Chains A and B, each alone.
Chain A
Amino acid sequence: QVQLVESGGGLVKPGGSLRLSCAASGFTFSDYYMSWIRQAPGKGLEWVSYISSSSSYTNYADSVKGRFTISRDNAKNSLYLQMNSLRAEDTAVYYCARGSTYTPPDYWGQGTLVTVSS
């Protein structure tokens, strides 16, 4: 069965950095687009970034562009999100999710909490 397991969240000070990881299993990872989606406490879902199956294409929400970098390692069935210059408004649960071209995600991980606070 499809499994997505995020890790790497935690408490970080404003201006700090964090790297999230997502371990995928149960499907052919290299066949799928992957996305990061976040949810601030008590708020709705916000798309953060996506990466194509071969890493040829990436895209970012304006709110994170220039600060976050998405990457993947198909040999390790893993997705990553490098987050730099973190701000209080980046505080959220971050989900990795599987998708296909031009469609929203189907499977989601359980999420990892990132808290940006001094």
Chain B
Amino acid sequence: QSVLTQPPSASGTPGQRVTISCSGSSSNIGSNTVNWYQQLPGTAPKLLIYSNNQRPSGVPDRFSGSKSGTSASLAISGLQSEDEADYYCAAWDDSLNGHVVFGGGTKLTVL
């Protein structure tokens, strides 16, 4: 049971816009920033969004993040076949002396 809640799956056709939600609480998303990661099969997670809505260098602007209260969202516009991957949200949690919490992951399928 993950601390942050994500839908287990999402799908879209090429060119569409897809959003993935991430729900938390006041001790994590409500008081700290959110990161999003993309994990392609057999590879390590890669940072996609940091500090709620910032893109690292090299990440296409098709990927965007937002946060409101205790929830966050990742949006992918102009969906491409190479976007098919698992996506995870993460945040710092102030409870239990502080630690990182993750969502359970969302498998994105490009139809």
Contacts and interface: CB of A to CB of B under 8 A. Distances in A.
B1 to A, nearest CB: 10
B100 A37 contact: yes
Contacts of A103: 32-33, 35, 50-51, 92
Contacts of B32: 102-103
Interface string A77-118: 000000000000000000100010011111111110000000
A102 B92 contact: yes
Interface residues of B, number: 28
A112 B101 CA distance: 21
Greatest chain B CB density within 10 A among A35, A44, A62, A108 is at A44
B102 interface: yes
B88 A45 contact: yes
A108 B40 CA distance: 14
Contacts, number: 62
Contacts of B50: 103, 106
A44 B102 CA distance: 8
B90 interface: yes
A14 to B, nearest CB: 24
A50 interface: yes
Contacts of A110: 43-44
A73 interface: no
Nearest to B106: A44
Interface of B: 2, 32-35, 37, 43-47, 50-51, 56, 88, 90-92, 96-105
Interface of A: 35, 37, 44-47, 50, 59, 61-62, 95, 99, 102-111
Given A59-B99, A106-B56, 11 more contacts: A44-B105, A50-B99, A61-B99, A99-B100, A103-B50, A103-B51, A104-B91, A104-B92, A105-B90, A106-B47, A111-B44
